[in-house]
Structure 1
């Protein structure tokens, strides 16, 4: 059984679960294969708490009726703005599910809560990025209605790009 709840960044249990799950994701090849820096682990929940428009959800699971509730999945979201729609959008920034819980539709359950929160906030859309080689994630997102971003098919799909400033 999985219960997905919005994170309270001020709650020590939620904050620790968020850091633990994000660190597990960072260590995974899909997350770059490197652990989070100690300063990130120490500051992230408070930094997210201070960002207006940031929210996260955690999937909590029990493997049995008497088992302790454990964090098994995380999604971090940040609000953005669609100039074409003149409305806010929600970027699904990190999606992490512990290896032992993959294939159990944890991502779908978390995305349902993210979508509910986004709709409550008046968002016009959800956006996300995914590595081309992460086919299980691509399929999961497509099942939930995500598709490549195209304005004019002749111009092709949008590409996610980055430029580090440090």
Structure 2
């Protein structure tokens, strides 16, 4: 990233009630949803309309926006959780997205620094996230930041993230 771009990169907590922040968050998440790593489909009009108010209603939800020169180029949405084994809060990163033209320039690293500072301020014992096995670029970034899969007992294998969709 050029010195000028570094100087203009700003990471700030998103205000879900602020129309500009809400629109920026939706736009970045929609770009992520359209990407093959986000499923390759745009967010529906209904989701685009409901997303920011719905996030505002979730206790412990927070997000960061990355802007360069005032333009939103990245976002991260996070949720507070709880570790029963540590009896402390944790932060789960649900989405991290950087617009294609800004990838590889330190935007995601800056978002992670903000998330980790927020997690520390909230007394979290860890930060968790999920990543697609084939998303090598993201996995390389996350590993370089100290993230990795885990296991409690080598004989039981690595932890997996599963889901069941409910209608």
Do they superpose with TM above 0.5? yes
1:37-61 Cα distance to aligned partner (Å, 9 max, x none) = 1111001111111111000001001
Counterpart of 1:66 in structure 2 is none
1:19-98 correspondence runs (5 A): 19-62=26-69, 69-98=70-99
Superposition RMSD on alpha carbons, in Å?
A: 0.8
1:24 shift after superposition: 0.3
Structure 2 CA distance for aligned equivalents of residues 120 and 74 of structure 1: 20
Unpaired stretches in structure 2, ≥5 consecutive residues: none
Counterpart of 2:115 in structure 1 is 114
TM-score, with length taken from structure 1: 0.94
Structure 2 CA distance for aligned equivalents of residues 39 and 9 of structure 1: 17
Equivalent in 19, 23, 39 of residue 12 of structure 1: 19
Counterpart of 1:65 in structure 2 is none
1:92-122 Cα distance to aligned partner (Å, 9 max, x none) = 0001000000111211100000011111111
1:64-88 Cα distance to aligned partner (Å, 9 max, x none) = xxxxx20000100011111111111
TM-score, with length taken from structure 2: 0.94
Structure 2 CA distance for aligned equivalents of residues 149 and 78 of structure 1: 20
1:154 shift after superposition: 1.9
Unpaired stretches in structure 1, ≥5 consecutive residues: 63-68
Moved over 4 A (4+): none
